[in-house]
Amino acid sequence: MPGFRRWGKSKFEKNPESSFKLLAAVLVITFYLLIKEFSNPTVRTRDVPTLGAQIQHTAWNGTGKAQETRAGKVRSAMKYTYWKYRESAWGADDILPVSGGNSSTRNGWGAFIVDSASTLALMELWDELAHSVEHILGIDFTHSEDLVDPFETTIRYLGGLLSIVELYDVGMIPEDVLHGEARDLILEHAVTLAEKLGPAYDTPTGMPWPRVNFKTSQGVADPPSVHFEHPDKPQFAHPAIGPARTGSSILENRVLTRLTGDSIYVRNSTLAWAPLVWSKWSTPWKGMVDAPIDITTGAPAGRDRHWDGGHDSYYEYLLKITLLAPASDPHIDTYKTRFLESAYSLRKHLSTRSASAPEHVMQHLFIGKQDGKQYQNEQGHLACFAPGTILLGSKFYNQPYLRTFALALLEGCHHTYTSTPSKIGPEGWSWTPKFSYDEPLYSPDTSRAKKEWAESGFWSTDSQYKGRPEYVESLFYAWRITGEQRFRDWAWEAFSAMETHCKAPYGYAQLADVYKVQSSEWPGSGEKRWIDMQESFWAAETLKYLWLTFTDVETASLDNWVFSTEGHVFRMIR
């Protein structure tokens, strides 16, 4: 499949730097082993996956059974989400849940349909899934009027397609909803899409371009609109990307290689994150990557270090590839080492407890960011994925200190939810560290921020809620791994708040301000309390993780399945 392979001579008309030649030599044996490993692809086993790992809590004593009422409420929310989209925005990428309009910012292939399909399958919403499959079979992934984002396209579209194939192959989707021929066509779609994304990897380092032009089959830099929408985004001599963009395709592409027997997919995704995993650049903290990274040289273009947005899923995938990959993978020990190093570096350097506030004595653990030598006492909702991922790693690698760390971080995220009038956490917040050598970078400097800090020990820096899943994702992992009922209760509190405040005429809207959710607090009819946007991850992740928290614990067991960063399930074949 030449459209996907790295070309023999780069468009830069120069060979990669000598260090990358050395790296390539080190990886030659790897690719030989991978080719051997995948010479006989795994297809259509139509049975439950064999035990891959012992992750989930075992001493349930009946407590792991489904909470039918709660699970049913979440399932109803998914049906409401789906049918409002189908009635008013079918075929578009997303519905606008307040106005009933639609949006297509993900190349117009129907992002919601593909991204939500695995949720429909797990919830056994067969009528809905049948409609989705019919649309998916008709998508032309070779055409896009807009530039294609390889990161978002991989996690939402490629991952969504592959997850449906995986669920079919173990017999979880009935033949009258998806038959074998349709399954093969979906896999063909995945191959087609992967081939079209192939030019993204045509760089001296193997790290992906920020965008791909499907018309010219070339990787390209960020379009001007990115810098218009994000004026603070720095510009460099060469395109530079964060760890998440270059390090979040290994799961999807390894599954595609296993299903097709073609090692090129896992080869390219391995090369994509090789400059991070085997970095030649020194960093003051083990396992942590300095970013953004120049895709031409592999050199850090900045000195940002954190587990928040833009960096997050690279660290997530370091762990999850060791769950997904078979023991014959020659790099498993390296991936494990990098994950543990980064998790302990996060614990040592970036986690700080909040100082007591006048009306809130209790301290909470949060994780900040580092820019060069400056500690930034701020955290985003995206970073609330970390408790679940670290807890997963603590169980798989038997690391009790990380378990304690993860549960403390989860309590901090929980506190941001329970402290707002909506009982939903904000998009971003800051706190005053209890211990610090320097003055905190951020401090409450408005009357509102001072009030929030005095009452809860933190203050919002972005008070929106964007339908994000990270907090409830971590609650799902905490419930399945510890078996503690409180995590189910916390998830129910979060869902109840979302049902109360986010449900709009055509779906579930984002919130403009989690501290102001009553219509009487806004002018006119109060619709301004909503943001007219519903991202596909609301169905792919947020509702999926909530439902899996309330349904029987053997559904999508963590002993058998690995969840992608977009919440798509892949089989452990170990």
| 187 vs 271: CA distance, rounded Å | 23
Contacts of 479 (CB under 8 A, 6+ apart): 487, 488, 491, 549, 553
Helices marked H in 426-542 = 447-456, 470-482, 485-501, 537
Kindly state the tokens that stand for 143.
């055409």
Quote the DSSP letter at residue 381.
Answer: G
Q: Are the C-beta atoms of 494 and 415 separated by less than 8 Å?
A: no
Cβ atoms < 10 Å from Cβ of 46: 12
Secondary structure (3-state) at 418: helix
Supply angle C-alpha 238, 243, 248, rounded to 5.
115
Residue ranges in 325-376 assigned as alpha helix (H): 332-345
Separation of alpha carbons 42 and 328, rounded Å: 15
> Which residue among the candidates 316, 427, 470, 566 is catalytic per the annotation?
427
> 427 an active-site residue?
yes
Sequence-separated contacts (24+) of 397-406 with Cβ below 8 Å: 397/336, 397/340, 399/340, 399/343, 401/344, 401/347, 402/340, 402/343, 402/344, 402/347, 405/343, 405/347, 405/351, 405/365, 406/478
Q: Measure the CA–CA gap between 166 and 158, rounded to whole angstroms.
A: 12
Looking at residue 424, the DSSP 8-state letter turns out to be: -
C-alpha angle with apex 39: 36 to 45, nearest 5 degrees? 125
For the beta carbon of residue 261, count every other beta carbon within 10 angstroms: 14
Residues 248/252/256/259 CA torsion (nearest 10 deg): 140
Q: What is the set of active-site residues?
A: 427
